Structure 1
Amino acid sequence: MQSRSRMHWLVAVMMCGLAISAVGLPIMTNGVFITPIADSLNVYRGSVAMHNTLTLFMKAVMSLYVPRLISRFGFKRTIILGVILAGGSNYLLGWVSSLWLFNILGTLRGIGTGLLAWVPLTIVINEWFSEKHGLVTSVVLSFSSITGAIFSPVFSNLIDSLGWEQSYRIMGILIVLFALPAILVPFTLDPRDSGYLPYGTDDSEKGMAREREVVKRDEQRDVSLFLFVHLFIFTLFQTLLIGVPQHFPGFAQSLSYSSDMGATMLSIAMVSSIGFKLGLGYVSDHWGPVRSTVSILALIAVSSVILLTFELVPLLYVGAFLFGAAFSIPSVSVTLLTKEFFGRYNFTRLYPILAFSTSLGGAISLAAVGFIYDFTGSYAPAFAVALGINLVNILILLFISNRISKQKAV
C-alpha cells in the first residue's frame, strides 16, 4: 500500500472544499447580507442576524453528535446529509421574507454545517496524514478565512446588482458544488480501506510495527478529565477573542477616527489570520503544537497591549495585524493540541466537545464585546480582558504540557 500518492493530496483538496461549504460560504460571508435584508424587510438588523446566531449555535450542538452519526451511517452519508441541509436551506433563504422562516432555515443550515465541519474534516486529516499533519490541517482550516476574504466582496457586488434573494440562492448552489468532490470521489475514512497508508507512514515491516505500537499506546492512554477540562477552558477563553476584530470600526470611531480606518483594521486582521493559520501548522510540524501555540498567544498578548496603549494609526494597524493570530488558535491549535495531548485514538471522542466550545464561544463573542462597550463606553476593557485571557491561557497550556510530560515519563 502506498503512503505517498496523489490520492492523499486529493483528499486534502476535497477537505478544503468541505471547509468552504461548511464555514467559508454560509458563515464567514454572511455579514454582508444583514443590512440589505434588514433594509429590504424594514426590520432590525439584530433580528436578521438572529438566523446567523442560530446557525452557529446548531453548528456547535451538532459537533457533539457527528462522530456517532459517522459511526452509524458512514462518513459519506453524513456529509451528504450535511450538504443537503446546508446548501438547501441557504438556497431557500432566497425565497422567504418572514423572520420566523429565516430562523427555521438558519437552524437547519446550522445542523448541516455542523455535519460538515470541523469534526469530520479533522478526523479525515488525522486518518490520512501522519507526516505533514500540522501543515495540512492549517491549510484546510484556513480556507474558511480565505473564502471570507474572497467571497465577501463578491457577494456584496452580487447583492447590489442582483439583490440579496438571488445572491442567497447562488450561495446555496456554491455550497453544494464545492462539496461535490468529497461526495463523488470514492475514498474511505480509513485510508487502508482504500488501499493506502497514512501519508508519510513507513511501510517497511519495522515501520509498520512501530505504527502499531503507537496506536496501541494511544488506545491504552488514560485521559485525565482534570486536564481535559483545562483544555476546554483554554479553548472557550480563546474563542471569546475572535469577536474583537469585528468591532474595530467602532473602536476606531471611539478614538475619533473614521469607520473606514476601522474597516481597514478589520481587513488587515482578516488577511493576517490566513497567514497565521497557514504558518501555525508548518511551525507546529517543526516546533511542536505547544511551543508554536505559546508563541502565537504571546503575539496576541502584544497586540492587546498595543491596542490598549497607543492611538497612532500605524501602530493600530500593527496591533490589528497581530490580533489576526487569534483566529488560528480555535481552528488550528486546538486540533493539534488535542491530538498531541490525548492521542489519535481519543481524538474522535474528545475533539467534538472542544469543537462545541469553539462554536459556542464564537456565537457569544460578538455580543460580549458589544456589551463591554455599552456598559463602559470604551473598548479598553475588552483589550485588557484579551490580554488577561492570553496570559492565563499560556499558563494553562504550560501546566497541561508539564503534567502530561510527567505522565509519559512514569
Structure 2
Amino acid sequence: MVGKWISFYVPSPLKMKFLNKNNLLHYSWIIVFVAVVVQGVGSAIRMSFGVMIDPLADSFGWTPGEVGLSYGLMSIISALFSPVAGWLGTKYGAKKTMFIGSFLFLVGMIMTGNTQTLLGFYISYGVLFGISQSMLLVPIIPAVATWFRRHLGIATGIIMVSWSLGPALMIQLLAVLLENNGWNNTFIIIGIYGFGILIILLLIFKNTPEQSGRIPFGTLLGDKPLITSGERFNQLQKSYESYAYKTNSFWNLVNLHFLGCVGHAIILIAIIPLAISRGINPITAAGILSTISLVSVSTRFLGPILSDYFGSKIIFFVSFIGQGLGVLLLINATSVMDFYVFAIIWAIPYGGEGGPFPVVNRQYYGHMPMGTIYGWQILGAGIGMAIGGMIPGVIFDLYGNYNIAIYLSAIFSIAGGILVFFLNNTKESLIPDWPEVEN
C-alpha cells in the first residue's frame, strides 16, 4: 500500500519534465495566492492603524495614548493567542482555523464600528480583532511551507509582499472611506467586504498537498514523501518540538522578532501624527506611510530569497542595523521632502527584517511542522508590536513630542542587530531530519 502511495505522488520522468517547464501550473502557487490575500487583508487594518488615531481622538475626545492603547491591547491579545493558533493550525488544519478567524474578523469590525465607549473599543478591536489576527496570520505560513519541498524563499518573498501592498492600499482606502463615510461605517464596510473575500479564497485553500492528491513543489524523483498525518505524525510532532525548544536559536528568534517589532511599530504608529505635528497635512502624511509600504515591497520579496541562498543571519543583521540607524533621520525632519526621503531610505531595511523567519525555521528545523514554533515567534512579534504601538502615544502625552520614541525605536532595532550574532550558523540543521515514509 505504501509503495502504491509513493508511486502515486512521485511523478514519472515525463511528468516531472513537464512540471519543471510549467512550474506556474503547480497548485502550490494557488496556495501562495490565497496566503497573499489573507495576509494582506489581515495585516492591512493592523499596519495602517496610524491613520485612525486622529479621527478617533477627535470624535470621542480620547488622547493619542488612549487610542494607541487599543492597538497595544490588540497586539498583546494576538501575541498571546499566536502559539494556540499555530497549534490549532497543526492539529485541525489551517483552513478550519482561518474560517473561525474570518468570522471573528467580521464580528470585531462590526462591533468596532458600532462602539460608543473606550472600553467597547478595547473589547471589539483589542480583543476580538486581536484573536482573529492570530488565527488568520499564524497558521497559513506553516501551511504554505508544507507545499514547498524546496524554494520556500521564493514563496515566502511573494507572501511578504502582501504585508507592504496590503497596508499601502488600505491607507489610501481608509483615508477615502473616513472622508466620505466616517470612522464608524469605515470599520463596518471593511469587515463585510474583507469577510467575503476571505471566505471565497478559503474555499479553494488546501491544507497540504497530500490531502489534495498532489506533491509539494520542488519535489525531485529521488525524494520520498514526508510523514504528514496519522498517529506517527502526532508523536513525531511532540518530540521534534521538544528538540526545537532546547536550542538557543529558538528563543533567540522569539526575542529577535520582539526587538524588531518594537523598533518598527513605534514608527508605523507615530509617523502620521508625527508628520502632522510638524505641519504636514493629513493626506500628505498618510502618503508617507504608503511610501514606506510600497518601497518595502522590494526587500520583503528579496529578503527571504536571499536568505534561502546566502543564509538568514546576514539579511537579519543588515536589516536590523539599517532599521535602527534609519529612524534617526526623523529627529530633524520638518519638510515634506525630509519625511519622504526618510520613508524611502528606512523602508528598505524595514522590509527585509521579517521575511527571513520562515526561511530560517526551515534552515534550522528542516521539514518538521512549524505551526507552534512560528506561533511562538509571532508571540514575540506581537508583544513587540504592542509595546511599540503604545510608546508613541505615551511619549507624546508626557512630553508633547515624539523624539524620545524615535530614539527608543533605534535602540530596540540595533539591539536586534547585536542579537543576530548569537544565532547558530544556518548551514546546519539544529535537530534530526524529519522522517520520510518508509518503504
TM-score, normalized by length of structure 2?
Answer: 0.77
Match of 1:197 among 215, 225, 240: 215
> Taking structure 1 as reference, are residues 51 and 322 closer, same or farther at Cα in structure 2, changes over 3 Å only?
same
Task: Give the corresponding residue for 1:271.
Answer: 294
Deviation string, structure 1 residues 189-240 (Cα, Å, up to 9, x no partner) = 22112111111111x1x2338x78xx99x95994334332222222211111
By how many angstroms is 1:127 displaced?
A: 0.5
Contact 2:260 2:413 in 1 (8 A): yes
Task: Give the corresponding residue for 1:229.
Answer: 251
Task: Give the corresponding residue for 2:383.
Answer: 360
Query: Which consecutive unaligned segments of at least 5 residues does structure 2 have?
Result: 1-8, 12-18, 228-232, 432-439
Contact 1:269 1:321 in 2 (8 A): yes
**Distance in 2 (alpha carbons) for counterparts of 1:403 and 1:186:** 31
Contact 1:22 1:114 in 2 (8 A): no
Task: Give the corresponding residue for 2:435.
Answer: none
Task: Give the corresponding residue for 1:134.
Answer: 153
1:241 aligns with 2:263: yes
Deviation string, structure 1 residues 287-330 (Cα, Å, up to 9, x no partner) = 23223223323433452465568989867644432322454356
Quick one: which amino acid aligns to residue 253 of structure 2?
L
Contact 2:108 2:124 in 1 (8 A): yes
By how many angstroms is 1:391 displaced?
A: 4.3
Quick one: which amino acid aligns to residue 263 of structure 2?
L
Aligned to 1:344, the other structure's residue is in SS state coil
By how many angstroms is 1:369 displaced?
A: 4.3
1:86 aligns with 2:128: no
> Taking structure 1 as reference, are residues 196 and 273 closer, same or farther at Cα in structure 2, changes over 3 Å only?
same
Contact 2:68 2:389 in 1 (8 A): no
Quick one: which amino acid aligns to residue 22 of structure 1?
G
1:287 aligns with 2:275: no
**Distance in 2 (alpha carbons) for counterparts of 1:316 and 1:41:** 29
Deviation string, structure 1 residues 143-196 (Cα, Å, up to 9, x no partner) = 133121112222222222223222222101122122123421252x22112111
What is the 5 A alignment of 1:60-209? 60-106=79-125, 107-117=127-137, 119-185=138-204, 187=206, 189-202=207-220, 204=221, 206-208=222-224
By how many angstroms is 1:135 displaced?
A: 2.2
**Distance in 1 (alpha carbons) for counterparts of 2:357 and 2:241:** 22
**Distance in 2 (alpha carbons) for counterparts of 1:156 and 1:358:** 27
By how many angstroms is 1:264 displaced?
A: 5.5
Task: Give the corresponding residue for 1:55.
Answer: 74
> Taking structure 1 as reference, are residues 111 and 193 closer, same or farther at Cα in structure 2, changes over 3 Å only?
same
Task: Give the corresponding residue for 2:417.
Answer: 394
1:15 aligns with 2:15: no
Aligned to 1:240, the other structure's residue is in SS state helix
> Taking structure 1 as reference, are residues 158 and 383 closer, same or farther at Cα in structure 2, changes over 3 Å only?
closer
Structure 1 window deviating more from structure 2 (342-351 vs 235-244): it is 342-351
Deviation string, structure 1 residues 67-102 (Cα, Å, up to 9, x no partner) = 332344333221111111111221233333233332
**Distance in 1 (alpha carbons) for counterparts of 2:118 and 2:140:** 32
**Distance in 2 (alpha carbons) for counterparts of 1:253 and 1:163:** 20
Match of 1:335 among 348, 352, 358: 358
**Distance in 2 (alpha carbons) for counterparts of 1:196 and 1:114:** 28
Q: Which structure has the highest helix share of the two? A: 1
Q: How many pairs were matched up?
A: 400
1:300 aligns with 2:318: no
By how many angstroms is 1:266 displaced?
A: 3.9
**Distance in 1 (alpha carbons) for counterparts of 2:412 and 2:345:** 16
**Distance in 2 (alpha carbons) for counterparts of 1:258 and 1:269:** 16
**Distance in 2 (alpha carbons) for counterparts of 1:351 and 1:15:** 15
Contact 1:21 1:174 in 2 (8 A): no
Aligned to 1:244, the other structure's residue is in SS state helix
By how many angstroms is 1:374 displaced?
A: 6.5
Structure 1 window deviating more from structure 2 (57-66 vs 36-45): it is 36-45
Quick one: which amino acid aligns to residue 250 of structure 2?
F
**Distance in 2 (alpha carbons) for counterparts of 1:269 and 1:108:** 28
Higher relative contact order (CA 8 A, sep 6+): 2
> Taking structure 1 as reference, are residues 112 and 403 closer, same or farther at Cα in structure 2, changes over 3 Å only?
closer
Give me the identity figure in percent.
20
**Distance in 1 (alpha carbons) for counterparts of 2:131 and 2:272:** 31
Contact 2:164 2:297 in 1 (8 A): yes
**Distance in 2 (alpha carbons) for counterparts of 1:310 and 1:87:** 39
RMSD between superposed Cα atoms in Å: 3.7
> Taking structure 1 as reference, are residues 263 and 86 closer, same or farther at Cα in structure 2, changes over 3 Å only?
closer
Deviation string, structure 1 residues 114-165 (Cα, Å, up to 9, x no partner) = 1111x21211121012333112212213313312111222222222222322
